Amino acid sequence: MQPRLIVNTGDGKGKSTAAFGVGLRAWSQGWSVGVFQFIKTSSWPTGEKLAFQTLGGVHARTGQGGPVEWVNYGEGRTATRAGARADQRGLAERGWQQVRERLADQRHDVLILDEFCHVLAKGWLDVDEVVETLLNRPGHQHVVITGRNAPQKLIDAADLVTEMRKVKHPFDKGEKGQAGIEW
Amino acid sequence: MQPRLIVNTGDGKGKSTAAFGVGLRAWSQGWSVGVFQFIKTSSWPTGEKLAFQTLGGVHARTGQGGPVEWVNYGEGRTATRAGARADQRGLAERGWQQVRERLADQRHDVLILDEFCHVLAKGWLDVDEVVETLLNRPGHQHVVITGRNAPQKLIDAADLVTEMRKVKHPFDKGEKGQAGIEW
C-alpha cells in the first residue's frame, strides 16, 4: 500500500466534496480520519461536518468504521479587514502546526487539509517547508489537500492531482448558493 | 430554491466522490437521498455505500439527518462477453425505469445517478427521452449525474457542470487501486 498525497485544485466545484467522499471510504475501512479545515469558519457548521461527526459518533458507540477528528482554522470575524487578515494568517499557522503534530504522531490514516492550497497561495506558510514535511511524513498516512491555485511545488510533490474545471455554473446566471448543495 | 441538475464528468478522479459529498450535505439537511449506481456491482460493497447506509440507519434510529436509499444496477457476471453486455444494458434500462418512478413520486430531495453518463455514452438509453424526463421532473428534486463522456445534450440541459481533469495519476506509474482511497 502506497501512502498517497492527493491534490484537488481548479476553479470548479467538487474539490472539497471529493475529498470528503474519500474520507467516507477511509471511515468505512475503520481508518482514523482527520479533517483540518482552513479558511472555513467553525461558527457555521456545514453538512459535511455534521455527517462526519455523526459517523465518528457511530464509531465511538459501536466500533463500526473509524474515529473522526474535525478542526476548523478559519474565524477572523474582526472589526477591520487588516485585523481579519492577520487573524487568518495566525489561524493558518496554528493549523499547520497542529497538522505537523498529527503527521509526526501518525494519529490518522487519512488527513484532509481542506482549502489548504488557498493558504499556500496566499503566502501565509513556507511552501518549501510544507512540501518537505508532507514528503517526509512517517508511516502510511494518506493526505488529501484541496483548494484553488495549488502551488507548482505541491503539484510536483503529489501522487495524484485532479483539476476540477468549471464548465457551467448557476452562479454565473446570478443564482445563489443553497443549503444541502453548497454546504 | 432552484432544483439543480448537476453533472460531474471528465477523465479525472472525484466525479463520484464529489457527488457523495453533496449527498452528505443533503443528508445533514434532513433530506431524503437516493443513490442509483449504474455499472458498479452491488456484490462488492464500497466504503461510500457502507457509510451512507450507516447514516440512513442513524436517521431510522434517531431521526437525525435524512433517509437513504441505495440501489445498484451493475451485475453482469455472465459466462460470455456478449451475455454480460446484454445484462448491463438490461440492468441500465431497469435502473432508469426505477429512477423515472422515483422522480415521478418525488421520493427523494437529492438523487445521485452514479456512472449514468457512461450508460448514456454507451447508447443503452434514449438520451433525448432521459434529458426530457430530467428537465420535466416535478417539484424540487436535485439530481447529480456522474461519469465520463457526458453527452452534449445532458451538458446543455444541466445547471452546473464540472469536468474532473486528470493532471497526474499514480496508475500512470503502474500503481494499483487500494481500499479506503479508490473504493
Query: What's the complex ipTM?
Result: 0.88
Closest CA to B33 of B142, B122, B128: B142
- Average pLDDT (A154-159) is 96
Which pLDDT band holds residue A119 (cuts at 50, 70, 90)? very high
A111 close to B (CB below 8 A): no
Which pLDDT band holds residue A83 (cuts at 50, 70, 90)? low
Tell me the average pLDDT of chain A: 92
Name the grid cell of B170: 499514480
B27 close to A (CB below 8 A): yes
Cα–Cα distance between B47 and B44 in angstroms, integer? 10
- Average pLDDT (A84-111) is 92
Give the chain A residue nearest B13 (alpha carbons). A162
pLDDT value, residue B178? 82
Which domains can be identified in chain B, with CATH numbers? 5-164 (3.40.50.300)
Q: What digits encode the pLDDT tens for the residues B29-40? A: 999 999 999 988
A77 close to B (CB below 8 A): no
CB contact under 8 A, A18 and B22: no
A180 close to B (CB below 8 A): yes
> Could you say which residues from 54 to 73 on chain B have a Cβ atom under 8 Å away from some Cβ of chain A?
54-55, 58, 64-65
pLDDT value, residue B2? 83
- Collect the ranges in chain B with pLDDT lower than 70: 1, 75-86
Name the grid cell of B39: 455499472
The residues near A147 (Cβ < 8 Å, ≥ 6 apart) are: A8, A9, A15, A38, A39, A114, A115, A116, A117, A118, A119, A120, A121
List chain A residues with CB under 8 Å of B177. Answer: none
Which pLDDT band holds residue A138 (cuts at 50, 70, 90)? very high
> Rounded to a whole number, what is the largest CA-CA distance in chain A?
49
- Of all residues in chain A, the percent with pLDDT exceeding 70 is 93
Q: Which residue shows C-alpha cell 483540518?
A: A36
Best of A17, A145, A155, A156 to disrupt the B interface (most B CBs within 10 Å) is: A17
Give the predicted TM-score (pTM) of the model.
0.91
Checking if the pLDDT of A42 tops 60, the result is: yes
pLDDT value, residue B41? 76
Which pLDDT band holds residue A176 (cuts at 50, 70, 90)? confident
A42 close to B (CB below 8 A): no
B142 close to A (CB below 8 A): yes
Checking if the pLDDT of A33 tops 70, the result is: yes
B53 close to A (CB below 8 A): no
A27 close to B (CB below 8 A): yes
Q: What digits encode the pLDDT tens for the residues B128-153? A: 999 999 999 999 999 999 999 999 99
Which H helix or E strand runs over A71? Answer: strand A68-73
Checking if the pLDDT of A76 tops 70, the result is: no
Best of B2, B9, B15, B17 to disrupt the A interface (most A CBs within 10 Å) is: B17
List chain B residues with CB under 8 Å of A148. Answer: none
- Average pLDDT (A156-163) is 96
B67 touches B56 (CB < 8 A): yes
CB contact under 8 A, B28 and A18: no
Give the chain B residue nearest A25 (alpha carbons). B47
User: How many residues comprise chain B?
Assistant: 183
pLDDT value, residue A174? 79
- Average pLDDT (A121-144) is 97
User: Residue B170 to residues A108, A139, A155, B175: CA-CA distances in angstroms?
Assistant: 22, 19, 13, 6
CB contact under 8 A, A180 and B110: yes
CB contact under 8 A, A161 and B168: yes
Phi and psi torsions of B124, nearest 5°: -75, -15
pLDDT value, residue A172? 78
